[in-house]
Structure 1
Amino acid sequence: MSGIDWTPFWLSFKLAAATTAILFILVLPLAWWLSRTRSRAKPLLESLFSLPIVLPPSVLGFYLLWALAPDAPLGRFFAEHLGVELVFSFPGLVVASCLYSLPFMLQPLQSGFESLEPSMVEAAYVAGKSPLQTLFRVALPNIKPSLMTALVVTFAHTVGEFGVVLMVGGSIPGETKVASVAIYEYVEVMDYRNAHIYSAIMVALSFAVLMAVYTFNRYHKRRLGVWR
C-alpha cells in the first residue's frame, strides 16, 4: 500500500468536505421552509431540487460545463469579479458537486423536519422563540438521525462522484483528479492492480459510511425507547 498515490483520495475528501459544509449552510433554511410551507409551488420546487437524482450525470455535467465556461455569463462573472476559473479547476468541482449532491442533503433534512410534531414548533413560538431559534434549538436537536443521514450520505455521495466531476473538472493531477477519475484511468490503461486497490478502498469507505449511519440511527432509537 506504500506505493499508492493518495492525492486523488485527499482531493475527493477535500471536495466532499467543502461540498457538505456549503450545502448544509445553504440547504438548511430551504429544507425548513419546504417542510413548513403550503405553497402551491412546493411540488415544482421539490421536483426541481430532486432532478440530480434521476438526471444522467453526463447531462448535468454537460449543462454545468456550458454554464461555467469562461464565455458564459456565470463563468465570466466568476472570472472577472472573483478571479476564479470554474472549468477544469477545483472551485468548479465544488460548484458542480453542490448542485449534484443537493438532494442528498435536502431530502433527509426536509423529511426530518416534516416528522416533527406540529405542537413542538407551535410551543416554541408561543414561548417567544424566533423562527431561527426554533430551527436551531428545537427542530435540529430533535431530528438527529435525519441530520446524520444528510451529512454523511452527502459526504459519501460526493466522494463517489464521477460523471459530473470528470466533465467539469477533467483529470488534472493534484487539482481535479479525484479517486473515481483515477480508477477510470487505471481501467483505461488496463492497470487492474491499482484499479482493484482504489476500488477496494472506495468499497470499504462506502461500507463504513453506511454502517455509521445505521448504527447511529439504531442507537438513537434505542435512547428514545423506540426499541426494547
Structure 2
Amino acid sequence: MDLEPIWLSIKLAMITTVILLFVGIPVAYWLSRKQSILKLVAEAIITMPLVLPPSVLGFYLLLAFSPNNGFGKWLHQHFSLQLVFSFPGLILASIIYSLPFMISPVKAAFSHLPRSMAEASYMMGKSKTQTFYRVLLPNIKASVFTAAVLTFAHTLGEFGVVLMIGGNIPGETKVASIAIYDAVEMMDYHSANSYALILFAITFIIVISVFVINRNAVKSPFE
C-alpha cells in the first residue's frame, strides 16, 4: 500500500492546524468581547463552513482560486502562484474549511472567563498584550488543545473541498480521503480498508486524547 496519501494528509492537517492556532486564537478573543453587528456578521461568515455542503464551499473556492477569475488571477499575474490543483491551494482551502473548528471552542472559553481576571491584571499594571498572553491564554489551555485537535482531525478527513480544489494528483494533492475514494472506484476494497483503518486509528487516538486532557483539566484538586 502506498502510504504517501496518509503522510500528505497528516502534513496538510499539521500545517493547517499550526496556521489556525496563530490566526484563530486572536480572532476568537476579538469575537468573545462585546458584541456588535460587525462581529455578528464575521462570526456568521466564519461559521458557514459548518453548515455548507463541502462541495458547495469547494465549488466557490474553485472559482475564487481559478487563475481566470478575481483573486486567483491576481495571484497568478503578480506572484505566478496557482492555487487550483496545488498543495498551497489545499492549505488555504483547509484553513477556510476548518476555521470554525478552531475558533468556536476558543471563543467559548474566552467568553466564560470572568472579566474580573483581566481587570485585576490591568490594576496590577499589566498591558492588554501581557494580560492576554500571561493571564487569559494560560487559563484556556484545555480549550486551545481541544480546538487544535478537532481542527487537525477535521482537516485529516476532509474530502469534498480537497477534491474540488486539489483534484487527484499523486504526491501533490492526493490525500488519504481521495485515495480511499479511488480505491473504492477501482473496487480495490483491500486498499480502501487499509487507508480507512489508518485514518480511523488516528482519529480514535485524537478523540481519546481530547477526553483525557479535558477530564484532567476539570478534575478537582481534592480528588
Q: Same fold (TM over 0.5)?
A: yes
Shift of 1:84: 1.6
Once the 2 structures are TM-superposed, how far is the Cα of residue 82 of structure 1 from its aligned partner?
Answer: 2.5
Residue equivalent to 1:128? 125
Answering whether residue 210 of structure 2 is matched by residue 213 of structure 1, we say yes
Alignment partner for residue 82 of structure 2, among 85, 89, 99?
85
2:193 to 191, 196, 212: 196
Task: Please state whether the residue corresponding to 1:37 is helix, strand or coil.
Answer: coil
CA shift at 1:80, angstroms?
2.4
CA distance in 2, matches of 1:38, 1:100: 24
User: Where does the alignment leave 5 or more consecutive residues of structure 2 unmatched?
Assistant: none
CA distance in 2, matches of 1:128, 1:175: 51
* Deviation by residue 1:66-109 (Cα, 9 ceiling, x = unmatched): 00000112112222222221000000000100000000000011
How many residues are matched?
223
Does the CA-based 8 Å contact 1:52-1:103 persist in structure 2?
yes
The two structures have a TM-score, normalised by structure 2, of 0.96
Identity of aligned residues (%): 53
Query: Could you tell me how far apart the structure 1 residues matched to 2:175 and 2:196 are?
Result: 13
1:66 and 2:63 aligned: yes
- The question of 1:137 aligning with 2:154 is answered no
For residues 219 and 171 of structure 1, the distance between their equivalents in structure 2, rounded to whole angstroms, comes to: 42
Q: 2:24 aligns with which of 12, 24, 27?
A: 27
Aligned to 2:96: 99
Q: How far, CA to CA, are the matches of 2:95 and 2:42 in structure 1?
A: 17
Aligned to 1:119: 116
**TM-score relative to the length of structure 1:** 0.94
Structure 1 stretches of 4+ moved >6 Å: none
Q: Secondary structure at the match of 2:37?
A: coil
Tell me how far 1:171 sits from its aligned partner: 0.5
Determine the structure 1 residue equivalent to 2:37: 40
1:16 and 1:158 in contact (8 A); partners too: yes
Q: Is the 8 A contact 1:105 1:151 kept in 2?
A: yes
Q: Distance between the aligned counterparts of 1:9 and 1:132, measured in 2?
A: 39
Distance 1:76 1:43 in 2: 31
Flag structure 1 segments of 5+ consecutive residues without an equivalent: none
SS in 2 for 1:143: helix
